[in-house]
Amino acid sequence: MTKQGQAQSGIHDAAFFERRGYNKDVMPKTDSQRNISTFNFFTLWMGAVHNIPNYTAVGGFLLLGLSPLQVIFALIFSSFIIATLLAVNGYAGSKYGIPFAMQLRQTYGDIGAKLPGVLRGVIAGIGWFGLQTFAGSQALLILLIKIFPGFEHFGNGTTILGITIPGLIAFLVFWAINFAIGIGGGETLNKFTAVLNPLIYIVFGGMAIWGFMVAGGWDNIMHYEITTKSSGIIYPAILSFILIFNSMMGVWAGPGASVSDFTQKAVSTRAQIVGQVSGIVVAHLLFAFSSVFIIIGGSIFLGHQEWNILTIINNWDNIWTILIATGVLLMTTISTNATSNIIPAAYQLSVLMPKLINYRRGVILASVVSVLIMPWKLMENEDSIFVFLNMIGAILGPVAGVLIVHFYLINRCKVDIERLYFDTNNPNHGGLRFNFSAYVATILGVVVSLLGFIPKFQVISDFSWFIGFFIAGISYIILYVLEKKFRKDKGEKANEI
């Protein structure tokens, strides 16, 4: 933490925070709690890059009319945008030791922070946790059937609440593993990703070599003919590049908004910036080549276009390579679920009800709700997961835009910890309960982004994260200036924390 951050957070001890309704999970982190190093950040997001939905998405990118080489370059360039978002929006957390929930309060006010907190932690976090857990359980189910051939017939086709007994067993087993990582928090996650990181390099690097070899080399991959094209709008090459950037930002919309939940425990700001930027870029370098090599090489190997990496893996002859590759894919899904879903959801629940719910109780509640929403029903339509992901991008892109504008342009990278934690319930002392300008700007960005779900406005959906991010950010600047002028004319203070 910086000297300023240390001084401000050191004014009061933990008991002082607790007496005023704050649990330890949302208090400013002390030096002893700041233990996430550069290496930890380097390994943190690797699983969020190499997972089943991302590999499937690359198949869709190849349908846009771009060459395989152009898709590779687009994926590499997108990593710099993602890394910049994570490092820039994570700066408040690493400098002052505050989590995402308090970053929201610092921007929207203590009342105003509740809605974006619910959107990120409850709707996006819990909903996406359930959907990804079910998607991962389908890979586990395939694995169990490979190991125990009669497993798929267990229960003789009986269904419970719309899911077969083997499917339910696979889901609950995979759910329990995700829950265990979530309940362990950041320390358990750091250990998990430290083990996972080298496995990803070995397994996906080996799969990329396999794809390269079965395809017959570089030329065959680069000149592979796509027999079908996207049914959506066909854009010029430059816009197709931006469309890929937008799709990748949609995947990272959640972590990009709530990254302070991790950077609050960074040993230093430099550690989170160097670790996240290097980790994201290196992970995407491997992903860019491995995804294209595996998908096109697998398609050549099978004799037809195949964009599902699990289908490619399950057509291998060696059972051990199938088990290892699928096992690592399951581990990356667990890593993604922890970093992007269950941890942010638990923090948000602890903020919404700080006297009743701490982080561990938040994990328990979020995990139980993720089962109650029956994600297997939500995914009966194969496009549901992508519709949900696009919606998350449309909702959280504007939130990220407003957070960044407020911290860098309005508050000039300064957070008064004393006022943030103790004055927000007393407007007479300068506290902010509801930032009208930030709220209106966010809603405007969300509404415009969601217009893309209307068929005639599909072009907006294709670029929803960028449109929402910039509309909300620019609108906030304009509204803030107008509000400040209005308050000045009335002799009032502008809404600042």
Q: Which residue has the higher pLDDT, 56 or 305?
A: 305
Structure tokens, 218: 């570089």
Amino acid letter at 96? Y
Average pLDDT of the chain, as a whole number = 85
Q: Which residue has the higher pLDDT, 147 or 15?
A: 147
Q: Which range is least confidently modeled, 8-17, 436-445, 460-469?
A: 8-17
Q: Which residue has the higher pLDDT, 237 or 276?
A: 276
Question: Is residue 84 scored above 70 in pLDDT?
Answer: yes
pLDDT at 184: 86
Quote the radius of gyration of the chain (alpha carbons, Å): 23
Burial degree of 474 (CB within 10 A; 0-12, 13-18, 19+): middle
The CA-based dihedral angle spanning residues 361, 364, 369, 374, taken in that order and rounded to the nearest 10 degrees: 170
pLDDT at 14: 66
* Residue 182 near residue 340, CB atoms below 8 Å: no
- End-to-end distance of the chain based on CA atoms, in angstroms? 20
C-alpha 450/C-alpha 307 separation (Å) is 28
Question: Is residue 55 scored above 70 in pLDDT?
Answer: yes
pLDDT at 346: 87
Burial degree of 356 (CB within 10 A; 0-12, 13-18, 19+): exposed
Q: Which range is least confidently modeled, 76-80, 216-220, 448-452?
A: 448-452
pLDDT at 122: 80
Question: Is residue 15 scored above 70 in pLDDT?
Answer: no
pLDDT at 66: 87
pLDDT at 472: 96
pLDDT at 16: 66
Q: Which of 75, 76, 47 is closest to 60 using CA atoms?
A: 75
Structure tokens, 273: 């910036």
Place of tokens 């502008």: 494
CB atoms within 10 A of CB 148: 11
Cα→Cα distances 83→15, 71, 100, 256, 335, Å: 37, 19, 18, 9, 18
Q: Which residue has the higher pLDDT, 438 or 15?
A: 438
The pLDDT tens digits for 369-401 are 999 989 888 776 655 666 777 788 888 999 999
C-alpha 144/C-alpha 166 separation (Å) is 9
pLDDT at 11: 52
C-alpha 478/C-alpha 302 separation (Å) is 55
Question: Is residue 24 scored above 80 in pLDDT?
Answer: no
- Residue 200, classed as helix, strand or coil, is helix
* Residue 92 near residue 402, CB atoms below 8 Å: no
CB atoms within 10 A of CB 185: 18
Q: What is the mean pLDDT of residues 128-154?
A: 87
Residue 416: CA count within 13 A, CB half-sphere: 13
Q: What is the mean pLDDT of residues 94-112?
A: 90
Q: What is the mean pLDDT of residues 68-72?
A: 95
Confidence class of residue 3 from pLDDT cuts 50, 70 and 90?
Answer: very low
User: What residues does 159 pair with on adjacent strands?
Assistant: 164
% of the chain beyond a pLDDT of 70: 89
Confidence class of residue 20 from pLDDT cuts 50, 70 and 90?
Answer: low
C-alpha 184/C-alpha 178 separation (Å) is 10
Where in 147-263 does DSSP place strands (E)? 159-160, 163-164
Confidence class of residue 114 from pLDDT cuts 50, 70 and 90?
Answer: confident
Q: What is the mean pLDDT of residues 192-207?
A: 88
Its pTM stands at: 0.85
Confidence class of residue 286 from pLDDT cuts 50, 70 and 90?
Answer: very high
C-alpha 157/C-alpha 164 separation (Å) is 6
Pairing between β-strand 159-160 and β-strand 163-164 as defined by DSSP bridges:
antiparallel
pLDDT at 428: 36
Q: Which range is least confidently modeled, 25-39, 193-207, 382-396?
A: 382-396
pLDDT at 233: 67
pLDDT at 197: 83
Confidence class of residue 445 from pLDDT cuts 50, 70 and 90?
Answer: very high
Q: Which residue has the higher pLDDT, 162 or 384?
A: 162
* Residue 430 near residue 466, CB atoms below 8 Å: no
User: What residues does 266 pair with on adjacent strands?
Assistant: 36
Q: What is the mean pLDDT of residues 48-57?
A: 83
Amino acid letter at 58? V
pLDDT at 1: 44
CB atoms within 10 A of CB 248: 24
Q: What is the mean pLDDT of residues 310-327?
A: 90
C-alpha 404/C-alpha 408 separation (Å) is 6
